[in-house]
Amino acid sequence: MFLILLNATKMSSGVCNEKVGFIGGGNMAFAIASGLLKKGVLQADQVYVSATNLDNLQKRWSPLGVTHTTVNNLEVVCHAKIVFICVKPQIFPQITSQLRDAVANDYENLKSTLFVSIIAGITLQRLIEDLNLQPYAIVRAMPNTPMQVGVGCTAFSRLSSSSLTDTRYNEMKIMFGALGLAFEVPESQINAITGLAGCGPAYVYQFIEALADGGVKQGIPRAVALQLAAQTVMGAAKTVLDTGKHPGVLKDEVCSPGGATIHGVHALEQGTMRATVMNAVERATKRAEELS
């Protein structure tokens, strides 16, 4: 039997009534926020976001209707009850002292705030120690950017729970689940999931581009080839998810004896496509481990 991932859950979409903050306004924060706004889980006036360049932040986020933009991370922390930390691993040390001081100085107001780290490679234990947070107040998550169109997937972990934050935790699960598949997993799997699902869209985009290039080489107009390639990948992925069949079984169903498909599959095997993809996941996983 083909298992996508153990304990995978498709959460029902709901509405979050809390203010939600994003420290860092880059691609991942934008993907999460834009997806939640499109789904109606959040309204624009509930969203607070901070980044170092206010002009760029406003240009990107104002089309979403988000007006609470700032260069002050503490402003986000003071307003939001769920705070997504969406910065690069190398930027994390620059914000730790500021956030740690905020937690220490306003503990009573912040003790029911849930911080959700989207930082690749940074462990829960390090987050807790560097930010001076209680274990129940921090979640480590790895979403991917297709969340912005509602078909993402997210894995998340926490060390312990508390009645103070279980409500926040459930709200976070609803938000992630509204944007695709949501998985609660042991933290030991997060780096591998980063290499597979977090980085995976980039691998698939390269495949779509290459598939379209092959069509162009055979005389198909570029715009048509790109649509055909993207639709083919989407259709194949949906077939795997909806039928539950192993991809190898579905591949065999397409490969007629002596037909065109098996000749194409042979060419992919000659190019070691499967080994190359496996190597990509392995290298990305190791890089995530290095970042910790």
Indicate whether 52 belongs to any domain. Answer: yes
Residue 151 sits in the same domain as residue 268: no
pLDDT of res. 107: 63
Residue 26 sits in the same domain as residue 127: yes
Q: Scanning the structure block, which residue is given the tokens 């997806």?
A: 35
Q: Is 52 left (phi over 0), alpha (psi -120 to 50) or beta?
A: alpha
* Annotated binding-site residue numbers for NADP(+): 23-28
Residue 58 sits in the same domain as residue 180: yes
* Annotated binding-site residue numbers for NADPH: 73
* Annotated binding-site residue numbers: 23-28, 73
What is the span of the domain harbouring residue 180? 14-186
Indicate whether 191 belongs to any domain. Answer: no
CATH number for the domain that contains residue 151: 3.40.50.720
Q: What is the C-alpha separation between 1 and 9, in angstroms, rounded?
A: 18
Indicate whether 264 belongs to any domain. Answer: yes
Q: How many domains does the chain have?
A: 2
- Give residue 167's identity as a one-letter amino acid code: T
Residue 242 sits in the same domain as residue 152: no
CATH number for the domain that contains residue 273: 1.10.3730.10
For each of the chain's 292 residues, which pLDDT tens digit applies? Answer: 333 343 444 444 478 888 999 999 999 999 999 999 999 999 999 999 999 999 999 999 999 999 999 999 999 998 999 999 999 988 898 888 888 888 777 766 777 889 999 999 899 999 999 988 888 889 999 999 999 999 999 999 998 777 767 888 888 998 999 999 999 999 999 999 999 999 999 999 999 999 999 999 999 999 999 999 999 999 999 999 999 999 999 999 999 999 999 999 999 999 999 999 999 999 999 999 998 7
Helix ranges (DSSP H) in 179-259: 190-193, 200-217, 222-243, 247-254
Residue 155 sits in the same domain as residue 214: no
Q: Is 121 left (phi over 0), alpha (psi -120 to 50) or beta?
A: left
Residue 124 sits in the same domain as residue 262: no
- Picking from 143, 148, 119, 142, the residue whose alpha carbon sits closest to that of residue 131 is 119
The answer to whether the beta carbons of residues 131 and 103 sit under 8 Å apart is yes
Indicate whether 9 belongs to any domain. Answer: no
